[in-house]
């Protein structure tokens, strides 16, 4: 499934993940409230989804709210929850019309019942999408993801469904979030920070990273094209032999 029309024979990324950072700073620089920055950031998603579709990307995963973000001021958390609910209710039908399947990964039990229902409804509305995937990581953490996969494997051992000896990377992979999607080829972070902040730790094992100073509400097609262009220049060996004359061991 491609997030855009026809498949193209180029080495472009199939799966892009983005840490959407910089909404607060974007608003502060303009003398606006933090809520204005978060709203502008939410609006950016629509444009980037379309841009990815037009570039043949199969899946787009967005880090919207981390498991650590609960530590933010209660008013800001409440605002983010309202924006998330509003986005789901407003965008689900449009996403469905474009043939894109939306899903939310991460814990859900800490969300309000109202938000949990909105998530379930949005996923149901878009479940028939066959043109690609939009994944929103909310109350998500990479360590949590690994731990929940390990717990599920342990439960299978206890239930007699598998042996300890059968647990390997492939078994672990099958219980991770995003297990049914292509590997994350390109991980982008906006706003100048150069860390992945507990995001898709397992899935990013061989991702190419692109860090930019652009704040998320200003991250447009030109920035996306720059990231993709740099991705295409990378020599992705996945642990294989380096190019001639290159003695470096890591892949």
Active centre residues (catalytic): 21, 69
Rounded-to-integer distance, Cα 24 and Cα 6, Å: 37
Cα–Cα nearest to 60, from 141, 148, 1: 1
Residue 213 CB-density burial (10 A; 0-12 exposed, 13-18 middle, 19+ buried): exposed
Strands (E), 20-95: 59-66
User: Half-sphere exposure of residue 233, counting CA atoms within 13 Å on the CB side?
Assistant: 8
Q: For residue 4, which of 62, 45, 61, 57 has the smallest C-alpha distance?
A: 57
Closest CA to 112 of 136, 80, 135, 134: 80
Q: Burial of 175 by CB count in 10 Å (0-12 exposed, 13-18 middle, 19+ buried)?
A: middle
Q: Where are the beta strands (DSSP E) in the chain?
A: 15-19, 59-66, 101-105, 133-140, 186-189, 208-211
What distance in Å separates the CA atoms of residue 49 and residue 136, rounded to the nearest whole number?
A: 12
The C-alpha atoms of residue 21 and residue 217 are separated, in whole angstroms, by: 9
């Amino acid at each position: 499934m491609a997030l855009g029309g026809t498949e193209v024979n180029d080495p472009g990324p199939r799966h892009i993940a983005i840490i959407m950072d910089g909404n607060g700073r974007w608003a502060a620089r303009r003398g606006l409230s933090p809520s204005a920055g978060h709203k502008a950031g939410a609006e950016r998603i629509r444009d980037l989804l379309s841009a990815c579709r037009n570039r043949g990307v199969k899946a787009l995963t967005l880090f919207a709210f981390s498991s650590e973000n609960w530590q933010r001021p209660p008013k800001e958390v409440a605002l983010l929850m309202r924006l998330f609910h509003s986005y789901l209710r407003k965008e689900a039908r449009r996403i469905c019309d474009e043939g894109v399947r939306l899903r939310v990964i991460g814990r859900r039990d800490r969300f309000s019942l109202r938000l949990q229902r909105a998530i379930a409804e949005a996923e149901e509305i878009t479940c028939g999408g066959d043109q690609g995937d939009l994944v929103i990581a909310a109350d998500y953490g990479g360590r949590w993801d690994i731990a929940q996969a390990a717990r599920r494997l342990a439960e299978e051992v206890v239930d007699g469904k598998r042996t300890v000896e059968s647990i390997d990377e492939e078994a672990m992979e099958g219980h991770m979030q995003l297990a049914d999607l292509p590997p994350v080829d390109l991980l982008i972070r906006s706003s100048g920070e150069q860390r992945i902040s507990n995001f898709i730790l397992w899935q990013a094992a061989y991702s190419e990273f692109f860090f930019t100073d652009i704040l998320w509400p200003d991250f447009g097609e030109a920035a996306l094209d720059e990231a993709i262009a740099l991705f295409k220049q990378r020599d992705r060996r996945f642990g294989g032999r380096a190019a001639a004359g290159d003695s470096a061991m890591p892949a």
